Amino acid sequence: MFHSRFLRFSATVIGSLALAFSVSAQTSTISGNWVWQGAKLHDGTYDKFYFQFEQKGQAITGRVIYPWGILAITEGSIEGNHFRFVQAPVGEYKFVGEGDVVGDELHFRVTYFDNKYHDRIVRRCPPDEGNPPARIELPALHDVPWNGLAKTPPMGWNSWNKFGGNVSDEVVRGIADAMVSSGMRDAGYIYVNIDDTWEGRRDSTGALQPNHKFPDMKALADYVHSRGLKLGIYSSPGPKTCGGYEGSYGHEEQDARTFAAWGVDLLKYDWCSAGKLYDMSEVRGVYQKMGDLLLSSGRPILYSLCEYGAEKVWEWGPKVGGNMWRTVGDINDTWEVMAKNGFSQSELAAFAAPGHWNDPDMLEVGNGGMTDEEYRTHMSLWSILAAPLLAGNDLRTMSQSTRDILVNREVIAIDQDPAGKQGTRLSKSGERETWTKPLAGGAVAVGLFNRGAAPAMMALRLPELKLSGKVQARDLWAHKDVKFKNGVFEATVPGHGVVLLRIEPSGAGRQVRLL
């Protein structure tokens, strides 16, 4: 989609370039540092992007410094006043800019993560403004001992998916209350996690303060604890978080102590601008540093690594003290992205174990972009994957059907099974996929997933599960026992839907573990 839009745009630009060139053969200079000032952040600073161009003849090189990282300019040119440039891709995203030099300003449009053009007016600024701080060398690699937490996949809530920058003390208290009144806490959802945008500035001693949205973090932690819940917080190993707020770079030890003193129980540590200082190949050392500090902070703090699956984090996540690690990019509230994140996890099963979990990102259940059928698929798949279950919706106002999806204890029991084994794809036929997860005591969870839009018949044969003889089977969404006829179970699975079964060899007795 992005591609065709870009091609169309290029065609019109080639026309205007020819015009510009015939009018002005004089090439302006774009060399130098230019700043774009965006929205005011909750800490009183502004989102700023720096465009550092270097012009040689008509060729442009340089880099763009975002709060979250630096992108090289891989190609660019200027003719007359008109310029265009392309930045190094970020995954599937490629940022391109196009516009004019207008006196001491640049007026241009540039694509960003939404693949849409955004108008920018940037002004000249001193050459070193926006440059990253000096690099701090990393400690030698070693294995950080396990903190003993997350014996089963962490469960709770996180502010990002629904609230983004609007999370506040009031929201968090309300969510904590709703977690209790909805029955979610008693079903196992314990962590209430504040994601990005809580951060303020550092005081004169370097201690990180929350911004105006969080008047007293310790009091908030006390409140959350008084509801029988735990508090999670967010930071980055870089100088800035992904949202452009203060990160922990150069203050790691102080921040670990601050979080412990507030009573924080979980840290989500998001790579973001660490890429300004460190090569991705150094990521393990970066995460190890905070892993050690959390362990010596004097408080058990669950460690959630967020670097989007780079450098096979699942291979070294436990060695830096990580209890969970994102394996993929950000989820959003669409069937496509949820399915892409969830159905891509089969090969990682061997890396999940009690204490250490693959994380295909937080839940979108109840946020409105998918149908209940799709949300049941989301919840079922995450449970088969033994993924952390972090609700991402507004628990204060959720509907009964959303609540029923999040608080289905029979499904939660699959996720939280004490054997701690991640499920895998057993078979695939077109858009129909069968996934299984071995459970404690010889039982198995089976998800019959229909990724197609139309309803589909799906069959499950006992020998596929290496089971023979009599079994007891239960449909965990219908909450009723189902029968195998001659060793075969058949069901019509709705489009984008699932039938989730728990199957036990007969005689072993039902072992549905209600929390």
The 10 Å CB-count burial string (b at 16+, else e) for 243-277 is bbbbbbbebbebbbbbbbebbbbbbbbbbbbbbbb
Nearer to ligand GLA, 188 or 238 (CB): 238
Scanning 396-478, the segments in alpha helix (DSSP H) are: 400-406, 409-415
Nearer to ligand GLA, 242 or 412 (CB): 242
Tell me, what DSSP letter sits at residue 23? H
Nearer to ligand GLA, 194 or 456 (CB): 194
Nearer to ligand GLA, 52 or 241 (CB): 241
Tell me, what DSSP letter sits at residue 355? T
Closest approach of ligand GLA to the CB of residue 155, in Å: 17
User: CA separation (Å) from 243 to 53, 401, 476?
Assistant: 24, 32, 39
Closest approach of ligand GLA to the CB of residue 270, in Å: 5
Residues lying near ligand GLA in the complex (CB under 6 A): 160, 195-196, 241-243, 270, 306, 330
Nearer to ligand GLA, 192 or 242 (CB): 242
Burial category of 93 from C-beta neighbours within 10 Å (exposed 0-12, middle 13-18, buried 19 and up): middle
- Spatial distance between the Cα atoms of 177 and 175, rounded to a whole number of angstroms: 5
Instruction: Give the position of tokens 């069937």.
Output: 335
Burial category of 89 from C-beta neighbours within 10 Å (exposed 0-12, middle 13-18, buried 19 and up): exposed
Closest approach of ligand GLA to the CB of residue 174, in Å: 20
* The two structure tokens encoding residue 418: 């004490």
Instruction: Give the position of tokens 């396990």.
Output: 146
Instruction: Give the position of tokens 């880099």.
Output: 63
Backbone angles phi, psi at 101, to 5 degrees: -85, 125
Nearer to ligand GLA, 195 or 374 (CB): 195
Nearer to ligand GLA, 100 or 330 (CB): 330
Active-site entry in 177, 330, 372, 475: 330
CA torsion, ordered 142, 147, 148, 149, to nearest 10 deg: -120
| Residues 286/295, Cβ–Cβ less than 8 Å | no
* The two structure tokens encoding residue 325: 């690690």
Closest approach of ligand GLA to the CB of residue 477, in Å: 28
- Spatial distance between the Cα atoms of 47 and 36, rounded to a whole number of angstroms: 8
Nearer to ligand GLA, 263 or 329 (CB): 329
| Residues 498/449, Cβ–Cβ less than 8 Å | yes
List 117's β-bridge partners, or say none: 111
Q: 69 CB contacts (<8 Å, ≥6 apart)?
A: 90, 238, 272, 273, 275, 276
* The two structure tokens encoding residue 209: 């303060």
| Residues 287/320, Cβ–Cβ less than 8 Å | yes
**Distance from chain centroid for Cα 280:** 18
Instruction: Give the closest residue to 495 by CA, choosing from 361, 335, 283.
Output: 335
Cα distance from N-terminal residue to C-terminal residue, the chain: 46
- Spatial distance between the Cα atoms of 107 and 391, rounded to a whole number of angstroms: 42
Closest approach of ligand GLA to the CB of residue 502, in Å: 31
Active-site entry in 265, 270, 333, 361: 270
216 is a catalytic site residue = no
Closest approach of ligand GLA to the CB of residue 417, in Å: 26
- Spatial distance between the Cα atoms of 515 and 512, rounded to a whole number of angstroms: 9
Closest approach of ligand GLA to the CB of residue 247, in Å: 11
Closest approach of ligand GLA to the CB of residue 204, in Å: 27
Closest approach of ligand GLA to the CB of residue 242, in Å: 3
Instruction: Give the position of tokens 């015009």.
Output: 19
270 is a catalytic site residue = yes
Burial category of 107 from C-beta neighbours within 10 Å (exposed 0-12, middle 13-18, buried 19 and up): middle
Nearer to ligand GLA, 307 or 410 (CB): 307
- Spatial distance between the Cα atoms of 438 and 511, rounded to a whole number of angstroms: 13
Nearer to ligand GLA, 160 or 189 (CB): 160
Closest approach of ligand GLA to the CB of residue 361, in Å: 7
Question: Could you give the residue numbers annotated as active site?
Answer: 270, 330
